[in-house]
Amino acid sequence: MILVQSHCGGVLIESDRETVDTLGDLCHDFLAVSTVAGHSDTRWPSVIGVATAPTDGDWERVVYASDHELARTLFVDHAGRRILVPGPPGPWRTLHMLRAVRNILRWEAYVAGDLFLHAGMIAINDRGVVFSGAKRTGKTTAILAGLLFAGTRLVANDALTVREEGGRLIGYGWPRSITARRETLLALQEWMPELMRRLPYGAHPTNSWPGPHNEAQDVTHAENVPRTVWLYPAELMQAVDAGISKGAPLTAIVFPQFDDAVHEPVLELLDEATAQTLLAANVESKAVYFDEFLDRWYRDTGVARRRQLQDRVLRTIPFYRLRQNMSCARAAALLVRETVGGGLVHGQSFVD
């Protein structure tokens, strides 16, 4: 049994040894993980992997179906704050348990008043650069390009959370699957030809699940590349020779935008009114959009605190628009590094 903790909450994980060890490995880059001996500590909610569904006790059965994965079945003990995830040991049960752990911890951070953004973050020389915006605007492209070409570290690919610590605004991420679209991978492969070969397609169970993400598309030289690739963060970092940081101080917020008319990337400082509009549009209004039963476990007490954090972000952090296209992703990563990431440090060299 292990205890997985964020800065403001914790979850006990119980199951067979291999499952517990795997979940500890998936969590430790983002959260504190410690071994717990003896019986469950009732102070903490728990996520428990079991071989078969319970036949007695006061359990609520909850099922979530998706085109992208095996149906996720949970049994919930509301009074004891326990979630059972039944099924044979393996990648699906592990993934479903990880999601339950993350959702509980996100709720606890939300109650504490942390600010949730639809954004990712990389750390450049210990400076956190946020990439935010709507879907398909280039957030993952910008993050992957930064990891590949600008010597950065991953903080979060999506679902960034912001807290105040020691007078600073700190962005942090969660153990969450990363999805990379085929067009992004193909563009990055122009500079790193071995990228596709190094990606562990078989590790994440969604990659082998029949669904729309595996449908073929007419893309040149892409016959063997699925429409979308699912990866655990550590797997992707190993493939691109990058690392993960548990958090970083906010330094800049960048809103990428694909623009086929530009031949070189353009980074523009935004005025306060535009920044306010863009930030408001990308603040998450809920702790999680799944496992709705957790609404019965928690009462949101962080509204005022989140509003204060949002106002402080707007007052103290510069906002930028990054106009780029796939062909200049590498140049865009270097431009962001030089402009808002503090440039290069001694011993580093990144050459176009």
The encoded tokens of residue 145 equal: 């390009």
Question: Residue 219's pLDDT is what?
Answer: 43
Question: Residue 17's pLDDT is what?
Answer: 96
Q: Check whether residue 60 and residue 139 sit in a common domain.
A: no
Asked whether residue 133 carries a pLDDT value surpassing 60, the answer given is: yes
For residue range 267-305, list pLDDT tens digits in order.
999 999 999 999 999 999 999 988 999 999 999 999 999
Asked whether residue 351 carries a pLDDT value surpassing 60, the answer given is: no
| 59 lies in some domain | yes
Q: Check whether residue 219 and residue 279 sit in a common domain.
A: yes
Q: Check whether residue 172 and residue 74 sit in a common domain.
A: no
Average pLDDT, the chain: 90
Residues 47-74: what's their mean pLDDT? 94
Question: Residue 39's pLDDT is what?
Answer: 65
Under 8 Å between Cβ of 115 and 309: yes
Q: Check whether residue 132 and residue 260 sit in a common domain.
A: yes
Write down which residue in 57, 83, 111 finishes a domain.
Answer: 111
Q: Check whether residue 121 and residue 16 sit in a common domain.
A: no
| 324 lies in some domain | yes
Q: Check whether residue 12 and residue 61 sit in a common domain.
A: yes
Question: Residue 51's pLDDT is what?
Answer: 96
Q: Domain count of the chain?
A: 2
C-alpha 101/C-alpha 88 separation (Å) is 19
Asked whether residue 347 carries a pLDDT value surpassing 70, the answer given is: no
Q: Check whether residue 77 and residue 135 sit in a common domain.
A: no
pLDDT above 70: percentage of residues in the chain: 91
Residues 306-317: what's their mean pLDDT? 97
For residue range 153-182, list pLDDT tens digits in order.
999 998 999 999 999 999 999 999 999 888
For residue range 232-256, list pLDDT tens digits in order.
999 999 989 999 999 999 999 999 9
C-alpha 322/C-alpha 318 separation (Å) is 13
The encoded tokens of residue 292 equal: 């709705």
Q: Check whether residue 336 and residue 299 sit in a common domain.
A: yes
Cα angle for residues 94, 98, 103 (degrees, 5° grid): 150
C-alpha 192/C-alpha 323 separation (Å) is 22
Under 8 Å between Cβ of 177 and 268: no
Q: Check whether residue 244 and residue 332 sit in a common domain.
A: yes
Q: Check whether residue 298 and residue 192 sit in a common domain.
A: yes
Q: Classify 222 as helix, strand or coil.
A: coil
| 54 lies in some domain | yes
Write down which residue in 111, 133, 159 finishes a domain.
Answer: 111
| 347 lies in some domain | no
For residue range 9-23, list pLDDT tens digits in order.
999 999 999 999 999
Residues 40-53: what's their mean pLDDT? 90
Q: Which domain holds residue 107?
A: 2-111
Residues 116-133: what's their mean pLDDT? 96
Q: Check whether residue 193 and residue 321 sit in a common domain.
A: yes
Question: Residue 342's pLDDT is what?
Answer: 67
The residue that leads in pLDDT, 349 or 106, is: 106
Q: Check whether residue 106 and residue 134 sit in a common domain.
A: no
Question: Residue 183's pLDDT is what?
Answer: 83
C-alpha 214/C-alpha 232 separation (Å) is 18
Write down which residue in 96, 111, 126 finishes a domain.
Answer: 111
Asked whether residue 122 carries a pLDDT value surpassing 60, the answer given is: yes
Question: Residue 345's pLDDT is what?
Answer: 38
Mean pLDDT lowest for which of 96-105, 173-182, 187-196? 187-196
Asked whether residue 216 carries a pLDDT value surpassing 60, the answer given is: no
